Amino acid sequence: MIIGKQKPIEEIKPMMASAQRVLVLGCGTCVAVCMAGGEKEAAMLASALRMSVKLDGRSTEIRDYTVQRQCEFEYNESAAELVEWADLIVSIACGIGVQTMNEQFPARQTVPGLNTTFLGRPMEQGVWAERCLACGNCVLHLTGGICPISRCAKNILNGPCGGSQRGKCEINSEIDCAWQLIYDRLTTLGMQDLLLEIQPPKDWSTSRDGGPRKIVREDLKL
Amino acid sequence: MNSDSQLSKLLSTGQFVVSAELGPPKGTDIGVIQRKAAHLKGYVDAVNVTDNQTAVVRMSSIGVAALLVQMGLEPIIQMTCRDRNRLAIQADLLGAWALGIRDVLCLSGDHQVFGNHATAKNVFDLDSVQLIQMVRNMGETGKFQSGDPIEGEAPKFLVGGAANPYADPFDFRPLRTAKKAKAGAQFIQTQLIYNAPKFGEYMKRYCDLGLHERVHMMAGVGPIKTLGAARYMASKVPGMDVPDEIVKRMESAPKEKRAEEGIKICVEIIEQVRQMPGVAGIHIMAIEWEETIAEITRRAGLLPRPVA
Amino acid sequence: MSIEFEPQITAFTCRYCGSVPADMAGAGHLLYPANIKMVTLPCTGRLDAQYLLAAFEQGADGVCVFACGPDNCHHLTGSQRAARRTVYVKDLLRQIGLQPERLEIFHLGIGQAQDFARIVEEMTARIRELGPNPLR
């Protein structure tokens, strides 16, 4: 899922500098699950911002609200009245939610209170790790289920590189070497031969490199 | 083998080859290159020119190599995957060929987090295995990676890859070298070797795989200048194996004698790896200490260098 | 094959322009092959891609959809949705390894009994040509 992390208050405050009425808008889906932008976090951020601006001697009104999922117009409708009331919306949804709000309510600016960081999964409560880069062409069947694009710092397809040491990546000893993991897994699965095949250069055009992407399913259109 | 590359000629006649590394300047001073080249000329068969090594920006490998060609040296350009995509790489190679460069070492490249521009976007369009294959194919088929024909003479470079016998997974390393051979690598250069026995284990498996008959292995060696350098390599450089006794030798030597000890260690290792079946040459890395190359090659009995 | 193969064709129809022509063909004693089995839906907008796939998986040699005209659907957009889903499933058939021509959608008007009979005739001939469903 999408993982994000709230921006520090000192980064959010300048965005609100000229607003009198601010709506902090949370999202109940991915960012709620990674405890960065859900209902609770929206309430806490609103409270923190109220206190902070008060200490600054300003009198900005700050309210918070959370929609089920901020990337869909249907769900954001429930916030319409508050959006109308506000001068500015600080969204702590992922960047998609922020953009959706700007597209849906163009008369109001929605600014990001959160940094969308990566696609990943929870390892344990409070710990999330990256697992996917949305490259558009999944090769997990060739690597024992470990992604070389998102988990290898050099997105190597014929790894490991010479910097793999004791199962860790050369750039940070806390990062597992993806290719050590792939080697171990393929060995366990009895598929080590896959490692001897030369994987050809990746077609990056299905990824960001090919330009902004879109999927159209004619069969599902109404 | 490519007929224009002197290195390739020497390798194909079974000569024990010597290459050395030249680190480009962090600027535009040609004088630096001239001075370093002077330390190498006549003592080595070919000169590796690094490519933004450790992700620190230096004069480009091809730029320096072109100057070396003018100075009568044979350069081996290094090409990493970190900074260039397949378009830039192929374009650079065409230019390199036109400038008289004939040997290429294909590398993944150190991640930019190590260098002085850690906020840069990295490329890694290709990895080193795919790069080796692409460069070799350019020469063999006269085609670009896209399949379009290359106009004029096909750039038939002597293509090399790197090997780190000490990296993990240790068992897989000879197989990865085999993969590079399969991709078309004609020579292999290794990281600095200080643990000769462990390298010997790797070479045994390398020969078992028949690689000694398909590629030319050049063992990486280098003198140690200071105790600090020894300790740093032993603990801070990923993928390096510096045995305790080497560090101890540097420690025990009196401070003014350490450089000499560091050169001695290098010569001993050269002698050890030379005995190992499958080792076709050495690659001396004496970064910022190129003056020692003359002494090292003399003591190791590698002079005079043959004329190809 | 010594016995001539008789295609088994499933026809999904709506209650309007799908099935009325069929009824009228019958009432008018128009001859058409007995190879089709009709499944009537309230509207072809109710047609789910799963129904089309299930028909083939269960052994149908061919599948037809009889729907109102694209601009004439009794429920306004149902027949257009059916058309899009049919296109999608035809591509799935190709990916599966079955001939996409085994599936077809036909848009009819209520009075087109003759056309209905002709279509069934042609579809039966087409499927006869293609042969039995290889999954049977």
Cα separation of B124 and B127, whole Å? 6
Contact call for residues C123 and C117 (beta carbons, < 8 A): no
Residue C125 has phi, psi (to 5 degrees) of -65, -40
Dihedral over Cα of A53, A57, A58, A61: its sign:
positive
Q: Which amino acid is at A150?
A: S
Look at residue A221 and tell me if it is in a domain.
no
Cα separation of B194 and B220, whole Å? 9
Task: Give mean pLDDT, residues B58-86.
Answer: 97
Contact call for residues B8 and B1 (beta carbons, < 8 A): yes
Task: Give the single-character DSSP code of B267.
Answer: H
What is the H or E stretch that residue A110 is in? Answer: strand A109-112
Cβ–Cβ pairs < 8 A, chains A and B = 98
Cα separation of A140 and A137, whole Å? 9
CB contact (8 A) between residue A219 and residue C77: no
Q: Are residues A113 and A14 in the same domain?
A: yes
CB contact (8 A) between residue C81 and residue A222: yes
Task: Give mean pLDDT, residues A128-143.
Answer: 96
The DSSP bridge pattern shows strands A21-27 and A61-67 to be: parallel
Q: Are residues A6 and A112 in the same domain?
A: yes
Residue B239 confidence (pLDDT):
76
What average pLDDT does the structure give for chain B?
94
| Sheet of strand C62-68: strand arrangement | C36-41, C9-14, C62-68, C103-108
CB contact (8 A) between residue B111 and residue A171: yes
Q: Which residue has the tokens 């994000």?
A: A4
% residues pLDDT > 90 (chain B): 92
The distance in angstroms from the start CA to the end CA of chain B is 14
Look at residue A126 and tell me if it is in a domain.
no
DSSP string of A37-52? SSHHHHHHHHHHHHHH
Which chains are within 8 Å of A by 3+ CB pairs? B, C
Contacts of C110 (CB under 8 A, 6+ apart): C16, C17, C20, C21
Residue B2 confidence (pLDDT):
55
Give the CATH number of domain C9-130: 3.40.50.960
- Look at chain A and count its residues: 222
Dihedral over Cα of B123, B127, B132, B138: its sign:
negative
What is the H or E stretch that residue A173 is in? Answer: strand A172-176
List beta partners, residue A120. Answer: A130
Comparing alpha-carbon positions, the chain C residue that sits nearest to A218 is: C84
CB contact (8 A) between residue A156 and residue B127: yes
* Tens-place pLDDT, residues A71-128: 999 999 999 999 999 999 999 999 999 999 999 999 999 999 999 999 999 999 999 9
Task: Give the single-character DSSP code of B116.
Answer: S
Q: Is B70 exposed, middle or buried (0-12, 13-18, 19+ CB in 10 A)?
A: exposed
Cβ count within 10 A of residue A175: 15
Comparing alpha-carbon positions, the chain A residue that sits nearest to C87 is: A219
Q: Are residues A44 and A148 in the same domain?
A: no
pTM: 0.88
Residue B133, chain A, CB below 8 Å: the answer is yes
- Interchain contact A/B (3 or more Cβ pairs less than 8 Å): yes
Residue A219, chain C, CB below 8 Å: the answer is yes
Residue B3 confidence (pLDDT):
54
Q: Are residues A101 and A157 in the same domain?
A: no
User: For residue A166, which residues of chain B lie inside 8 Å, CB to CB?
Assistant: 168
Read off the pLDDT band of B237 (50, 70, 90): confident
Task: Give mean pLDDT, residues A35-52.
Answer: 94
Q: Which residue has the tokens 């409560």?
A: A125
More confident position, B64 or C74: B64
What average pLDDT does the structure give for chain A?
95
C-alpha closest to that of B240 among B201, B200, B191, B190: B191
Look at residue A217 and tell me if it is in a domain.
no
Look at residue A79 and tell me if it is in a domain.
yes
Task: Give mean pLDDT, residues A62-72.
Answer: 97
Cα separation of B185 and B104, whole Å? 10
Residue B287 confidence (pLDDT):
85
Task: Give mean pLDDT, residues B83-89.
Answer: 97
Q: Are residues A112 and A143 in the same domain?
A: no
- How many domains is chain A built from? 2
Cα separation of B273 and B278, whole Å? 9
Contact call for residues A94 and A75 (beta carbons, < 8 A): no
Q: Are residues A16 and A87 in the same domain?
A: yes
Q: Which residue has the tokens 């009425």?
A: A21
Please give the radius of gyration of chain B, using alpha carbons only, rounded to the nearest integer. 18
Domains of chain B: 6-299 (3.20.20.220)
Q: Are residues A8 and A112 in the same domain?
A: yes
Contact call for residues A107 and A100 (beta carbons, < 8 A): no
Tokens of A182: 């792939």
For residue C1, is pLDDT > 60?
Answer: no
Q: Which residue has the tokens 């990281």?
A: B191
Lowest-pLDDT range of B87-91, B101-105, B235-239: B235-239
Cα separation of A93 and A105, whole Å? 15
Residue C50, chain A, CB below 8 Å: the answer is no
Q: Are residues A195 and A150 in the same domain?
A: yes
For residue A135, is pLDDT > 70?
Answer: yes
Q: Is B150 exposed, middle or buried (0-12, 13-18, 19+ CB in 10 A)?
A: middle
Domain ranges within chain C, ordered by starting residue = 9-130
Look at residue A21 and tell me if it is in a domain.
yes
Of the CA atoms within 13 Å of residue B144, those in its CB half-sphere come to 15
Task: Give mean pLDDT, residues C91-95.
Answer: 92
Read off the pLDDT band of B123 (50, 70, 90): very high
Residue B308 confidence (pLDDT):
62
DSSP string of B209-257? TTGGGTSEEEEEE-----HHHHHHHHHTSTT----HHHHHHHHHS-GGG
Structural domain of A89: 2-118
> Pick from A118, A153, A186: which residue ends a domain?
A118
Q: Are residues A92 and A53 in the same domain?
A: yes
CA separation (Å) from C105 to A44, C9, C123, C132, C134?
A: 56, 13, 11, 20, 22
For residue B1, is pLDDT > 90?
Answer: no
Task: Give mean pLDDT, residues B14-29.
Answer: 95
Task: Give mean pLDDT, residues A157-174.
Answer: 91
User: For residue A146, which residues of chain B lie inside 8 Å, CB to CB?
Assistant: none
CB contact (8 A) between residue A165 and residue B167: yes
Task: Give mean pLDDT, residues B243-255.
Answer: 94
Residue C136 confidence (pLDDT):
82
Cα three-residue angle B68-B71-B73, rounded to 5 degrees: 60
User: For residue B133, which residues of chain A lie inside 8 Å, CB to CB?
Assistant: 198, 200
Cα separation of B97 and B85, whole Å? 18
What is the H or E stretch that residue A168 is in? Answer: strand A168-169
